[in-house]
Structures are given as C-alpha cells and as structure tokens.
C-alpha cells in the first residue's frame, strides 16, 4: 500500500490505461486472435483476456512460457462466463505499474511465435 501510495493512485491508473490501450491496439492486429471484454481501456482493469485461433489456452501458455512471457490460462474461476462465451478457457495477460510497453511487445512476439508453431 505504501509503494502504491508513494507513486499515487491516479498515476498508477493512468499508467494502467496507457498499457491497456497499447495492448489492445497491438493484440487486435494479430491474425486469429480473439479479444474478450470492452475495447475501451478506460472500461477495463489491468487484464486482457484472449484466445488464439484453435490453440488451447494451456498450450498457448506453454509456448509463451518458453519465450519468457508469463500469462494465465484456464477458466479463471469464471466457468459460467466461459460457458456464456462458448469457450473452454481463455488466456489472460495482466499489466500494472511494474510493466512496460516492452512487455506487451514481448507478448506480441510470443503470440506470433505460437502462430508459427501451430501453423496458423
């Protein structure tokens, strides 16, 4: 709490929104990638959920891990939402004060690598 207070919560939120904007703009250009959630960064918390074509999120997480990119995959304790979305699971990247644009660029590069591996 002290760390965030020292930074200032308004500054933290601005940083989160800037990262989310960049992430959404960057990721929506990846062929076969489905983003979930509001398109406007201001309507999100620091999370971007997505799926890549016919790649299971657990397989995608394994590929990204090999590229040094950490995401979460699964139903995220939100099984009713997964049923509503008609997907078995999603992949999820989270961003906060300790992240930068470089992390999003690394995620994009990892997703492009996954597209190569799965021949998408």
77 is catalytic: yes
For residue 40, give both structure tokens.
């406007």
DSSP 3-state of 73: strand
**Given 77, 84, 102, 119, which residue is catalytic?**
77
d(CA 38, CA 1): 28
For residue 81, give both structure tokens.
């939402």
Bridge partners of 35, per DSSP, are 50
* Cβ atoms within 10 Å of 77's Cβ, excluding its own: 6
d(CA 95, CA 103): 9
Distance of CA 86 to the CA centre of its chain: 19
Q: Which residues are catalytic?
A: 77
């Amino acid at each position: 709490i002290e760390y965030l207070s020292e930074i200032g919560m308004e500054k933290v939120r601005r940083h989160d929104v800037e990262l989310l904007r960049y992430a959404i703009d960057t990721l929506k250009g990846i062929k076969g990638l489905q983003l979930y959630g509001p398109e406007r960064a201001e309507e999100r918390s620091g999370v971007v959920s997505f799926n890549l074509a016919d790649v299971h999120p657990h397989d995608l997480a394994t590929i990204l891990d090999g590229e040094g990119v950490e995401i979460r995959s699964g139903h995220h304790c939100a099984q009713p939402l997964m049923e509503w979305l008609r997907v078995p699971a999603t992949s999820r990247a989270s961003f906060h004060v300790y992240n930068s644009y470089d992390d999003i660029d690394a995620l994009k590069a990892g997703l492009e690598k996954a597209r190569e591996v799965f021949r998408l």
